[in-house]
């Protein structure tokens, strides 16, 4: 084991569209407990909690996920060095560049372990051995390492890496001969038979300085944008905000295309560590516990004469009779049914939702906010009802609406209501009315969660009809 402390960099900017309807853009795959009781992000962070070996991680995340990520860190008892908020999505190469530049200013000799936030690794001991091999190659040979998964089947959903000669004396590390795109089945079978091909995991280890050197050579505009964005950035509590306009100048590209496929310093560590990118419902079926008929079932599920199916619900009960090889996933507002072999096509359904101007690809009926959550319970012409939960000690922004009035009814806890110049405390079964255009605020001064029923009425009920005057969480 190396004495050098490694900086984990966890990329958490994805939307996980292939796992719709459970994964949605405002509450995506990495924030969900798909395999066990921990979210994918929490499980990723748990792999790098050895304080003697790893610094607290640096996360690169979407602005809209920041409070959920911070809350999941708190729930897991984990600390982070920083949560870097990308001003805009620019793919993995600029995201890693932000983290590399941020860390380099704190540790000129930093080694980065770059990991997606939504992958499964069952054999963490094998992963640790592979990291040791990568660290040695990075320090002695200045290599930029990626981890290649030894294939156990002819998979057409992953890119591959062809392993070249061993890297010097490191027999467990190979030069990268070439990267190849996702193959057809015949080609994937030939790769499996060849034995020199591994799956491209999207996990990397390299020095911050080495990555930025190669990026400056191949993508100078991207490297410059990252440097300017970090030097002009500012802290907002745990969150680090790169300078927006500087980062927007960055081209968009993946780390593979921008650096790894172009550098002469690329190397790969083949490893068998129980890895999956959990990139589709079929992949989740593969890694899930199954009954004696090959069914993976989560939630209120009834089966009869059913084989090799994946069924999951956090909404209505699901009943499956006389079917095979299906994916059935139900949430309170959507149901997906597809055959396992076509589960990658779920992304095309999400594209249809976007094109149709619908919001089922973005939010669940329960929407999480830093102060708590709300659930839309009914919606009609010029009205909408919600159940709102405010955590103890938290409060919503001081705000007003141009197009809607609100009626609040307290069903549990104590509500402190600001309504114009008036501040009142309301208790269970008490209510208040907020007319259109009146400045107001809701907060929970108590020690138990506050639950209220909100009835909205007006000509426009969109969430963007909010004028904020003051906000504890820095939202505009």
pLDDT digits 0-9 by tens, 103-143: 999 999 999 999 999 999 999 999 999 999 999 999 988 99
Task: Look at residue 205 and tell me if it is in a domain.
Answer: yes
Note the pLDDT of residue 25.
Answer: 92
Q: Write down the pLDDT at residue 476.
A: 63
Tell whether 292 and 266 lie within a shared domain.
no
117 and 236 fall within a common domain: yes
Measured CA to CA in angstroms, residue 194 lies from 162, 163, 197, 198, 322 at distances of 10, 11, 7, 10, 40
Same domain (yes/no): 167, 299? no
Return the exposure string of 26-64: e unless at least 16 CB atoms fall within 10 Å of the residue's CB, then b: bbbbbbbebbeebbbbbbbbebbeeeebbbbbbbbbbee
For residue 145, list its beta bridge partners: 205, 267
pLDDT at residue 257, as a whole number: 96
Q: Which residues contact 409 (CB under 8 A, 6 or more apart)?
A: 429, 430, 431, 452, 453, 454, 455
Proportion of the chain in helix, strand, coil states, percent, rounded to 5: 25, 35, 40
DSSP state of 47: T
Domain assignment present for residue 371? The answer is yes
Residue 72 lies in a domain: yes
Tell me how many degrees the CA angle 275-13-203 measures, rounded to the nearest 5: 30
In the prediction, which pLDDT does 421 show?
95
For the entire predicted model, the pTM comes to 0.88
The pLDDT score that the predictor gives to residue 248 is 95
The total of structural domains in the chain comes to 3
Residues 261 and 290 occupy one common structural domain: no
- Examine the domain organization and report whether 207 and 75 are in the same domain: yes
- Pair 206, 246 in one domain: yes
Query: Which residue in the block uniquely carries the two structure tokens 């997906």?
Result: 336
344 and 442 assigned to the same domain: no
Q: Which of 322, 350, 378 is the last residue of a domain?
A: 350
Residues 425 and 455 placed together within one structural domain of the fold: yes
Task: Tell me if 203 is assigned to some domain.
Answer: yes
Residue 475: the pLDDT is 73
d(CA 312, CA 331): 9
Let me know how long the chain is.
476
Choosing from 275, 303, 332, the residue where a domain stops is 275
| Listed residue (66, 475, 48, 12) closest to 240, CA to CA | 66
For 5, list phi and psi in degrees, rounded to 5.
-85, 130
Note down the domain range covering 423.
366-470
State the CATH number of the domain containing residue 401. Answer: 2.60.120.10
CATH code of the domain in which 252 resides: 3.90.550.10
Instruction: Judge whether 360 lies within some domain.
Output: no
What pLDDT does 168 receive? 78
Please give the pLDDT value at position 375.
93
Rounded to whole angstroms, the Cα distance separating 218 from 295 reads 48
Task: Report the C-alpha gap between 138 and 142 in whole angstroms.
Answer: 5
97/217 same-domain check: yes
Residue numbers in the chain where pLDDT is lower than 70: 1-3, 170, 476
Q: Which among 275, 295, 312 is the end of a domain?
A: 275
Query: 392: closest CA among 455, 451, 474?
Result: 451
């Amino acid at each position: 084991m190396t004495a050098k402390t490694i900086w984990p960099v966890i990329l958490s900017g994805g939307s996980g569209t292939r796992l719709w309807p459970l994964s949605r853009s405002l509450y995506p795959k990495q924030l969900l407990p798909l395999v066990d009781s921990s979210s994918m992000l929490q499980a990723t962070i748990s792999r790098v909690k050895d304080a003697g070996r790893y610094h607290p991680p640096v996360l690169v995340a979407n602005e809209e996920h920041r409070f959920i990520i911070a809350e999941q860190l708190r729930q897991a008892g984990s600390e982070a060095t920083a949560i870097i908020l990308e001003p805009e999505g620019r793919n993995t190469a600029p995201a890693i560049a932000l983290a590399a530049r941020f860390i380099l200013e704190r540790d000129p000799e930093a080694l980065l372990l770059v990991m997606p936030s939504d992958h499964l690794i069952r054999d963490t001991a094998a992963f640790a051995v592979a990291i040791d091999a990568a660290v040695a190659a990075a320090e002695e040979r200045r290599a930029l390492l990626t981890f290649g998964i030894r294939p156990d089947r002819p998979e057409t959903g992953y890119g591959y890496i062809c392993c070249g000669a061993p890297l010097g004396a490191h027999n467990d590390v190979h030069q990268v001969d070439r990267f190849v795109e996702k193959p057809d089945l015949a080609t994937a079978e030939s790769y499996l038979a060849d034995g020199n091909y591994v799956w491209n995991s999207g996990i990397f280890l390299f020095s911050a300085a080495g990555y930025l050197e190669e990026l400056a050579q191949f993508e100078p505009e991207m490297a410059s944008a990252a440097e300017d964005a970090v030097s002009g950035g500012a802290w907002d509590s745990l969150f680090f905000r790169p300078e927006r306009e500087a980062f927007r100048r960055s081209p968009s590209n993946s780390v593979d295309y921008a650096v790894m496929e172009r550098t002469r310093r690329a190397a790969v560590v083949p490893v068998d560590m129980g890895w999956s990118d959990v990139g589709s419902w079929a992949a989740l079926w593969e890694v899930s516990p199954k009954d004696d008929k090959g069914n993976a079932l989560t939630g209120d599920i009834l089966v009869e004469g059913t084989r090799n199916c994946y069924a999951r619900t956090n909404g209505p009960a699901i009943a499956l009779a006389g079917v095979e090889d299906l994916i059935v996933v139900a949430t309170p507002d959507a149901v997906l049914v597809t055959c396992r072999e076509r589960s990658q096509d779920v992304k095309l359904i999400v594209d249809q939702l976007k094109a149709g101007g619908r919001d089922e690809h973005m939010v669940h009926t329960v929407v999480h906010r830093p102060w708590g959550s709300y659930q839309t319970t009914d919606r009609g012409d010029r009205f909408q009802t919600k159940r709102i939960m405010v955590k103890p000690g938290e409060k919503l922004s001081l705000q007003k609406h141009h197009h809607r009035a609100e009626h609040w009814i307290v069903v549990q806890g104590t509500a402190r209501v600001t309504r114009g110049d008036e501040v009142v405390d309301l208790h269970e079964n008490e209510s208040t009315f907020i007319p259109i255009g009146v400045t107001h605020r809701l907060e929970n001064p108590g020690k138990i969660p506050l639950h209220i029923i909100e009835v909205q009425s007006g000509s426009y009920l969109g969430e963007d009809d909010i004028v904020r005057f003051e906000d504890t969480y820095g939202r505009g």
